[in-house]
A and B are shown apart, each in its own frame.
Chain A
Amino acid sequence: MVSAVVKFIGSLLLTVGLVYVLNHQPGSLPYIGKKLQNSPAAMLPPLGKFLNPYGGFWQNAEGAVPLIMPKNALVGLRQEVKVVYDDRLVPHIFAQNQHDLYFVQGYVTASHRLWQMEFQTHAAAGRVSEIVGSRAIEFDREQRRKGMTYAAEKLVEALQEDSVAHLITQAYADGVNAYIKGLSAKNLPVEYKLLNYTPEAWTTLKSALLMKKMADDLTGQSNDIQLTNLAAVFGQQAAALLYPDYVEGQDPIIPAGAKWNFIPIAPPPLPAQTAPAKGASGFEPVNQPYPLPLPAAQPQTEPKIGSNNWAVSGSKTASGKPILCNDPHLQLNLPAIWYETHLHMPGLNVYGVTIPGGPGIVIGFNNHIAWGVTNAGVDVKDWYTITFKDATKNEYQYDKGWKKTDKRIETMKVKFMPDVIDTVVYTHLGPVVYENYGPNKQNLALHWQAHEPSNDLRAFYLLNRAKNYADYAQALSYYECPAQNFVFADASGDIAIWQKGKYPLRYKQQGKFVLDGNLPQHEWQAYIPAEHTPNMRNPERGFVSSANQHPTDPTYPYYYQSNDFEFFRNRRINRQLAQMDSITPAQMQELQLDNYNLLAAESLPIILNLLKPDELDPTQKEAYNQLKSWDFVNNPDETAPALFEILWQKLLADIWDELLNRPDSLPMVYPDNGVTIQLMKKQPDNKFMDKANTPQPETLQDLVKPAFVAALADYAKQSATNNAQPLTWANYKATSILHLARIDAFSVKNLHCGGNPNSVNATGKRSGPSWRMVVAFTPAGVQAQGVYPGGQTGNPGSPHYTRFVDTWAKGEYYPLRFVTSPDSLKVGEFIAVQNFTPILKN
């Protein structure tokens, strides 16, 4: 009897113990969890829950035809809505009123991309540690120090003031929540199961966070501190040489020589003290407990972002009507940044791509107009030194007096660990991101346009409905940040481009270097009037274009600057467009896929001229000849582009060795490649050509041969690890699309594709054309083609997850099914129809 009871209790304890262990992540187990800390093992999913076929990850193993409920009754919907999913899973949403349209857009987008939507907003808000543990603490802290949530909260307040923006963000949020509410644990996206958490309710704050994340991606780069360091060490002259306000040979968006048909307002006066505000030794990174580590000097070889857009007028096309093209280059991630959607209701028929988490269409077309965007890249992010009165940081010096600070307590939840608390001090200029920075213990406040609310949503709302140029101009009047070049074409034959953004009215070089937060003269005094931003309609040359270059030539009456105006792609595009005629959409696709490397064309001849073929051994001679005969096209299967790229990087590292790995560890940044090439051409004996760590002085001539020899050795080494095959451009570049949570198994690596960030086909290692779109107006209506590197569903367990990747890599396009009614799609052109009906509440 007693032994039976003992056996039973033993077995019961064992069973309960087993279930308990299999139901928890190792990191959350008592005792063991503490031991594991935040090792990968701690982050393993709860195995019983996760492997359970009836509710775990196996439920996300979708077939080729995803399960889409044909009928769906939803609370909150007002009338019936029909959604047709075409053969690529693009939803064509047919609603009868505005509320329902955005409600169902939210619902449908969430059904494909919920995890991504939430993860991206968690990332923006600095809440990743909640999900992945302590390894994200520094990332989260940075997001919070930058004031991302602070900015998003201000935006939410502003959205509530605007009837349209409020309606569409709220309807969208309600739709997302209707989807989340109907979601059972077994239907959660697989990432939730893997990381063992559940989705929160969607809010307008999350949509606002997403918009701020885009603003950060597109205006977040700032080199003020690095340039201040450079000016402090090498002097103002060197700063002017390396970072000129205007690089010679530019081909600006508004062609040089344009007349400005407005009366400019006067910029603020130049302050008496314009020298960089700096300590005697610049801004040296020291690892205090709180200051963020500044990135070390980086070779700026792969710009993270960029974009092309252009429109050609009917005078240059075969059809006699305009064609508009756009390919925004962003970091390549899975699930993709874009989601294709078609929105239809009485008075609206618009197709394009949207960022999951925001209502409406961001890049696209309707029956009347098409539009696209590229990043303006103009600096709207300035740094100011702040002097606190005392250690309490309650007051700071301002205009001979003291001003009070605000404090924002940031509590970061960390999975399996205690909360981390950070207090961010806010001044009237913005948050103090860096504290006790460098040997002079300086504090740096960030003043950033992205912190200000703006009604960009309304701009997109109106663009979606625009019928002509006047509507387009009206829509853009609402747009402020992140500044973009909006290209435009319409069915009546107009083409236009407008750089739209809210820019401070600066005195010359204001904000190029770190400013003094104590001096009111150093602040932004006013803004450039919105209608004075660069724009152009129906120019003589028959096309408009932009590729992140200078918007204007130096005759433009306002001062502006950028960290990296593009120098190569834009000139290639303009040269090609200028000589083209009777253009067809197919030729426009060809231009989007153009792999010509203008950087190589302008730099390699200088390099080869300095190499003496007679002094080369046979292997070197062969490589020399290979480079000499290269046509500067970065095709995937050629070896010369890989060799050139290695050589170029070695040469850059030798030329700019003064800026890298400094003994004083001051962060600095490489000049633009365009500046480097001009220096190589015009001043091959400039003092920067000298290598700092050698006793004798060097000129460019002395750098070329060793760089060439080292490049060959490196190339041979890399080829040896490449199955002993000569390294091709595609192998070298190894373009990869990584999962947002950097889960390798959910990523696609080593794609076979050409181009590089300096080509029109700006496909780099980790960034590239995130959406290629060609829209042609024809007498028969709009015909559009597009493709993006990803797939409509964000479920890694679905074959649709990477459905478009190969098509994209091959440079092929899909015809976009721009129909006018749910019945217009023929059998075979769609895979499911979903009817949404309202549940009326009493």
Chain B
Amino acid sequence: MKTIPILAILAAMAAYFFAWWSVVVVAALVGLLANPKNAAAAYGIGFAGVGLAWSTYVLFLNFQNQGLLAGKIAQILQVPSSAHLLALTIFIGSLAGGMGCMTGALLRQIFNKYKEATA
């Protein structure tokens, strides 16, 4: 169960230095290397790991800004409130992370199957 915090840390580092979608690549790599038992488990790890990376930081940023900008952006995007905007932010990160991790794990499945077949 250490995979989720490890992914969260790696995803945070990647997003800090690179484009936002680098978290998807990181999640895929983790999915590939950690070898979760099935696609659903992989999706869960990616979803939780990237979600954790995004939620901790976004909650901090929003807190020190006292929700000032979130309220304004929520109004622009026609999201009911800044809480909804926070949820949307975390959800998008999680969704992309889950997809990435699942893709990585499915690639691993091919290798696993290939090994089984040739063993």
Contact = CB atoms under 8 A, between A and B. Distances in A.
Interface string B64-95: 11101111110111000000010011001101
B62 A7 contact: no
Contact of B21 (A5, A12, A48, A63): A48
Interface residues of B, number: 44
Given A55-B19, A61-B61, A63-B64, A7 B96 contact: no
Given A15-B99, A23-B21, A44-B77, A52 B72 contact: no
A798 to B, nearest CB: 8
> Helix, strand, loop or mixed for chain B's interface?
helix
A744 B69 CA distance: 13
Nearest to A59: B61
A55 B16 CA distance: 7
A126 B62 CA distance: 37
A55 B28 CA distance: 21
A44 B77 CA distance: 8
Interface in A30-77: 44, 47-49, 51-63
Contact of B20 (A12, A49, A745): A49
- Interface size band for A: 35 or more
B24 interface: yes
A7 B109 contact: yes
Contacts of B29: none
A8 B103 contact: yes
A14 interface: yes
Given A23-B21, A54-B15, A58-B61, A48 B69 contact: no
A56 B15 CA distance: 10
Contacts of B66: 799
Nearest to A19: B21
A745 B110 contact: no
Contacts of A12: 103, 106-107
Contact of A19 (B24, B39, B61): B24
Given A63-B65, A745-B76, A48 B110 contact: no
Contacts of A22: 20-21, 92, 96
Contact of A53 (B24, B57, B75, B117): B57
A11 B39 contact: yes
Contact of B73 (A14, A53, A57): A57
A18 interface: yes
Of listed B39, B85, B96, residue having the most chain A CB within 10 A: B96
B26 interface: no
Contact of A1 (B28, B64, B114): B114
Contacts of B89: 51-53, 58
A268 B29 CA distance: 83
Contacts of A14: 99, 103
A743 B75 CA distance: 10
B109 A8 contact: yes
A744 B114 CA distance: 58
A61 B64 contact: yes
Interface in A581-627: none
Contacts of B71: 745
Contact of B75 (A5, A19, A54, A744): A744
Given A53-B57, A58-B61, A799 B88 contact: no
B10 interface: no
B48 interface: no
A18 to B, nearest CB: 6
Contacts of B28: 15
B13 to A, nearest CB: 9
Interface of B: 12, 15-16, 19-21, 24, 28, 39, 54, 57-58, 61-62, 64-66, 68-73, 75-77, 85, 88-89, 92-93, 95-96, 99-100, 102-103, 106-107, 109-110, 113-114, 117
21 contacts: A1-B114, A7-B39, A8-B109, A14-B99, A18-B95, A22-B92, A23-B20, A44-B77, A48-B92, A51-B89, A51-B93, A53-B54, A53-B61, A54-B16, A54-B20, A58-B61, A61-B68, A745-B73, A745-B75, A746-B72, A797-B68
Given A44-B77, A58-B69, 16 more contacts: A1-B117, A7-B39, A7-B109, A11-B102, A14-B103, A18-B99, A22-B20, A22-B92, A47-B92, A49-B19, A52-B54, A54-B57, A57-B73, A58-B58, A745-B72, A799-B68
Q: Which 3 A-B pairs have the closest CB atoms?
A: A797-B69, A61-B65, A52-B20
Interface of A: 1, 4-5, 7-8, 11-12, 14-15, 18-19, 22-23, 44, 47-49, 51-63, 190, 194, 743-746, 796-799
